[in-house]
Amino acid sequence: MEVVIVPDAAAGGEIVAQAVAALLSRKPDALLGVATGSTPLPVYQALAAKVRSGAVDASRARVCQLDEYVGLPAGHPESYRSVVLREVVEPLGLSAGSFMGPDGSAEDILAACAAYDAALSAAGGVDLQLLGIGTDGHIGFNEPCSSLASRTRIKTLTDQTRVDNARFFGGDIEQVPHHVITQGIGTILEARHLVLLATGEGKADAVAQTVEGPVAAVVPASALQLHQHATVVVDEAAASKL
């Protein structure tokens, strides 16, 4: 595992955007796994700036989601499909057809999970998976004690994650769905390169356990220690307990 400490969130966004740019110059139709939440936004902004300036050609890039809420109405602004379309697909000028994600409003959620897991493999696998981290060490929506071999499946959110994410729902925890579809940890580990970005002091404990703790299901992100090409990019605040 490679750990890169940068001064602040903007520098983290830039360095990860550079990694994506290098991948796209090597493999223009790379499949990029994108994460939601606040942390990766500087990455998408830095990447979009490179596309606008002509430094990066993302016209053939493909994008896939890490996770999705279950049961939000189609087009809800905080569904992860809406977020990825708004923050990644549109700013990078990608076509909607270059984008895939799990169907959180499917009638048969179990079938939708299996279909998405299979679709990722059929697409040739994820080339670079960008990850954030929850304050409890979750990646995607793999909450603590998720199996390290898990596949894409339905999960129940912990109260802590619902509290953490209530800010996207007007601060009202009642609006935060209880259930989600997430790529499993085993699914995530199949990506060719994992890049976990964490910024801010609130992530310092989770980062320390991820990087220096034992590999354990109670800290899902610690599974990155098992991957051959994992990069953890942290700002000084998130690195403060290393």
Active-site annotation, residues: 67, 136, 138, 143
Interaction of residue 220 with ligand GLP, rule CB under 6 A:
no
Q: How far is the CB of 200 from ligand GLP (least distance, A)?
A: 8
Distances (CA, A) of 112 to 68, 118, 119, 142, 184: 11, 10, 10, 17, 14
Q: Which of 35, 112, 181, 195 is the binder for ligand GLP (CB under 6 A)?
A: 35
Nearer to ligand GLP, 14 or 56 (CB): 14
Distance CA 153, CA 30 (A): 24
Task: Strands of the chain (E only): list them.
Answer: 2-6, 31-34, 62-65, 67-69, 99-100, 128-131, 153-156, 179-182, 193-198, 230-235
Q: Is 161 in the site for ligand GLP (CB under 6 A)?
A: yes
Number of residues that bind ligand GLP (CB under 6 A): 14
Identify which range of 12-20, 36-44, 184-192, 223-231 contacts ligand GLP by CB under 6 A. 36-44
If one asks whether residue 222 binds ligand GLP (CB under 6 A), the answer comes out as: no
Cα–Cα distance, 134 to 159 (Å, whole number): 12
CB 96 within 8 A of CB 90: no
Q: Please, what is the minimum distance in Å from the beta carbon of residue 142 to ligand GLP? A: 9
CB proximity list for 47: less than 8 A, separation 6 or greater: 17, 20, 21, 56, 58, 91, 92
Q: Which residue has the tokens 């990766």?
A: 40
Residue 25 binds ligand GLP (CB under 6 A)? no
Q: How far apart are CA 3 and CA 206, in angstroms?
A: 14
Regarding 36 and contact with ligand GLP (CB under 6 A), the answer is yes
Q: Which stretch binds ligand GLP (CB under 6 A): 22-30, 50-58, 132-140, 184-192?
A: 132-140
Q: State yes or no: residue 13 binds ligand GLP (CB under 6 A).
A: no
Task: Give me the count of residues in the chain.
Answer: 242
- Candidates 8, 22, 29, 38; binder of ligand GLP (CB under 6 A) is 38
Positions that interact with ligand GLP (CB under 6 A):
35-39, 66-67, 132-134, 140-141, 161, 165
